[in-house]
Structure 1
């Protein structure tokens, strides 16, 4: 039998989805599973998006431009300008989800063997994209005790070698909900400028910043205009995970030109997804206000409830819709598997994402879980009860 490639063997399994087989088995037995493991919102997609697809009246569902529909890209420039980000129409490439934007960025900015520094914990699929591109992640650890703030710039300096070609941040952060300050971003700008590095910035959750906190885009940083590559997506902003529309944005013409070659090789991003995403830009102020208010209330309910459970600790996220909670357990991987597969309360249980999967450094996150507050408040209340009851009887408590 032919062997699997080294790249295939090295590709990490998703810690967010690895428990899916257990979940499917549990559901087949009639047990209800509350999915707090994945960022799939239950908030409705804008009606404008659904109508755009429903009212499709062309006779042929044809390819679009490889960089994305001009109409959509032009509307995106207006969207970014309203967020104080001034970019041109040809600075934007529409991608098949944010995932393709990550891959294109890695393929275009780095050579196999190059190193990129990423604050951990980080979105687990970054490791998969890096493996596919043949680049090496150098993690720099942020800590629960420090609120997951950006580590000191001096710590970044210690990691920089001749192989270092970039820094990658997520702002607001997945999985921690941390929101970078102007001062922190200025420090990053200075080190990027000093070492002539790329700064890749995942800003998918830009619309979700709480407590009067302001989102500052990497594209607003002066002096590194050619160094910044932004990753974006409509998946979370408009609850459109399934339409698979993202964006790669950069003022660096060489990056966009290089990415265009990959874009042409895959022909075009999804037609119907682009139509839906384009229409979503016309969603009402009432829609965005409702979404924001709902996530804020869910955050407050979840964080308050978690901190009432004996031994559980949760920070208050300033953005996105996740929290990394500390649990009184020895091994969160085992706990999450046990909780899903062996425990139920009133014939219901939870699916959480083990914290270790969001760290590149071994042995970190073993008492942490990522919880996505993407379910309605009634379900979050039930989930908190299940978690508390489960921890009372879990055999692997600290």
Structure 2
């Protein structure tokens, strides 16, 4: 009997500022085609570029079994990987009101893939799904209960695909059962979020009703006194659309320093730019607050893991965000932290009670695996 051929899945990961793509053999995890379009300003043009690159590599519809898509927000109904049909597409579009920066590029990716590969199943994998069963105390806002219920207001979280994958890889790296570990995962990229994970399941996360809450990000400011929004509406000359544009595009590192890309921020910091220094200090301060909060939520942690483009490649940030936390059991080894190693690694000092790791996330591999699981 002939051996079955490779089960290749095309994964499209359309983020707020980048478009990643990989053709993955799910069993081996190897990619026959992969790439990324960065600093995307026109998602439709970026998608056309991606399809051209895939075709130029000799991969067509007959070489694939499915297309898997990262979708940031599934709302209250889409809480597991789902085969896409017109109704699911409409539900994703409806959830765009909760993630206006992220769901539109994912929708564009799904529609372009349906047109490019009309006979392939399309599967949506949701960043919010990992947090669908957050404990009520963590998921609930202290608002009027009836008003919240009518509007579907709760903390949904985001980056769940990454948090789940990284927590699993951290346990594997330590040769431990995830059920035995209390973990803090810091996903730091253009978007940034923290998660407290007990026994493999999340018990809290920094993003909330939308991906605006929590840590300082490239263009989003994270936690904010809601009274500021009322003040800006009443006295700041902004209407609702202007406020939305401010919160999604002119806040965070971009708003504070004019540098949404962390690499540019660090270059400006090294050049003595005071705005960059202030933005960096705010970023680090917020990150330290969440580390401390999640140590309290978990009652201490076994593992703290950095991931994402910033988390993986900014040793200065890792050192500064955890500096002076030895009384909390966290100590980084300077040489391990600055070693130029691309793979998963331990960066904590030998005597650190909390193991500190750097684990590259692989959302595309996770999406491919979950896509295959949906197909049965």
Report the TM-score, using the length of structure 2 for normalisation: 0.29
Of structures 1 and 2, the one scoring higher in RCO (CA 8 A, sep 6+) is 1
Report the TM-score, using the length of structure 1 for normalisation: 0.28
